């Protein structure tokens, strides 16, 4: 049962990254590349009917985490308290940037909320990448000092950074050179993803420029991925042990590089949705590859005193997990129907939606 709910949780998290990921990417494109008002409107039209529904997946992930893996929920939400509050504020500013911009037709007012939307989107992409880096790197469970746990074995707390900025220090921080590296991977990948969504859903004058941007950024993404893989052994001495033990796990890196290499042909795609498909493949493959590399761990311990958190030692009671399956089936059907209707109603180009006009 633990494995079932773990798979459910990862599927929901992947859906969130792909769906809200194009929102973040669109915000980054809006910040750096949309100079004219018509281009800004095209971007907000492309994500307007979807962004709030996409964010519900994050709430759903938190709900499943609380229900199925309460120990992990308690540990993570206390240990990562500071960055989670920052993410909450960034989500708020991103949302009100979209909603308040059209309330007053004044250049200064619009410029303020444009920046709020764009900068919040950029920082959210960075922080979610840094969060993934923290999970890969692990944390000092029990806050061990000189070989002795100072708190309970599943508890930890991280400041934003430590003085050494090192991912191998005894007392870690949220931000170090390794987590920042994965944060940059996330920023570049989601910028590409958002640009592909804009190309797919609009006839904006930006589209040709965005194709060139995606092509160039893909070289940056490839370089960052190669660097990340080459330094991974500094964090995990044997980073590919799971792939050797479970050879079918190699399908996940294969999907990742299929998406990455496919994006190099973005300028020649005749169907505008193909680029979005490849960037979705990269995001799906990248997340699942990372998860597979640490399985069955969900939060590794960086010390030898306290064990890592795994899907077995953080799961709820078997009875609760079993009963929850019935409610999950009902919820999954409702969500599937809702998403089918939403994407059916707003199929095609979104240039004339007029989102944010009041």
The string of pLDDT tens digits covering residues 121-139 is: 999 999 999 999 999 988 8
In the numeric block, the tokens 């989102």 are attached to 355
Higher pLDDT, 6 or 98: 6
pLDDT at residue number 108:
85
Phi-psi region of 124 (alpha: psi -120 to 50; beta: other; left: phi over 0): alpha
The domains of the chain are located at 2-345
Is the model's pLDDT at 358 over the cut of 60?
Answer: no
Q: Per-residue pLDDT tens for 183-194?
A: 999 999 999 999
Residue bearing the bigger pLDDT, 351 or 192: 192
Q: How distant, in Å, are the alpha carbons of 231, 251, 288, 293, 353 from that of 248?
A: 24, 6, 12, 12, 44
Cis amide linkage into residue 296, ω under 30° from 0: yes
Question: Mind listing the pLDDT tens digit for each residue in 233-269?
Answer: 888 878 888 888 888 999 999 999 999 999 998 877 7
Of 36-45, 95-104, 130-139, 167-176, the one with minimum mean pLDDT is 95-104
Q: Which of 70-74, 270-274, 348-352 is predicted most confidently?
A: 70-74
Range with the lowest mean pLDDT among 4-8, 38-42, 326-330, 349-353?
349-353
User: How many Å separate Cα 104 from the centre of its chain?
Assistant: 32
Residue 143 has pLDDT above 60, yes or no: yes
**What is the predicted pLDDT for the residue at 355?**
66
């Amino acid at each position: 049962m633990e494995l079932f709910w773990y798979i459910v949780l990862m599927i929901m998290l992947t859906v969130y990254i792909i769906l809200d990921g194009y929102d973040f990417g669109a915000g980054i494109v809006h910040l750096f590349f949309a100079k004219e008002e018509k281009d800004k409107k095209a971007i907000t039209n492309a994500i307007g009917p979807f962004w709030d529904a996409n964010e519900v997946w994050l709430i759903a992930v938190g709900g499943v985490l609380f229900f199925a893996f309460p120990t992990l929920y308690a540990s993570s939400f206390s240990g990562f308290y500071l960055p989670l509050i920052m993410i909450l504020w960034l989500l708020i500013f991103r949302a009100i940037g979209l909603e308040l911009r059209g309330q007053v037709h004044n250049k200064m007012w619009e410029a303020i909320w444009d920046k709020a939307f764009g900068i919040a989107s950029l920082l959210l992409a960075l922080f979610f990448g840094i969060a993934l880096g923290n999970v890969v790197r692990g944390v000092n469970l029990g806050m061990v000092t000189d070989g002795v746990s100072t708190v309970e074995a599943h508890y930890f707390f991280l400041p934003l950074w430590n003085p050494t900025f090192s991912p191998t220090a005894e007392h870690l921080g949220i931000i170090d050179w390794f987590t920042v590296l994965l944060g940059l991977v996330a920023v570049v990948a989601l910028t590409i993803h958002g640009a592909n969504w804009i190309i797919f859903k609009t006839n904006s004058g930006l589209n040709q420029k965005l194709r060139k941007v995606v092509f160039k950024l893909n070289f940056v993404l490839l370089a960052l991925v190669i660097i990340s893989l080459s330094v991974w052994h500094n964090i995990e001495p044997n980073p590919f042990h799971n792939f050797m033990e479970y050879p079918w796990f190699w399908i996940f890196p294969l999907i990742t590089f299929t998406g990455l290499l496919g994006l190099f042909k973005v300028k020649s795609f005749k169907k505008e949705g193909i680029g979005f498909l490849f960037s979705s493949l990269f995001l799906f493959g990248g997340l699942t590859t990372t998860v597979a590399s640490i399985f069955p761990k969900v939060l590794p311990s960086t010390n030898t005193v306290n064990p890592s958190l795994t899907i077995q030692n953080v799961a709820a009671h078997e009875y609760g997990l079993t009963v929850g399956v019935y409610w999950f089936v009902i919820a999954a059907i409702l969500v599937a129907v809702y998403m089918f209707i939403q994407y059916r109603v707003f199929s095609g180009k979104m240039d004339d939606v007029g989102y944010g006009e009041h």
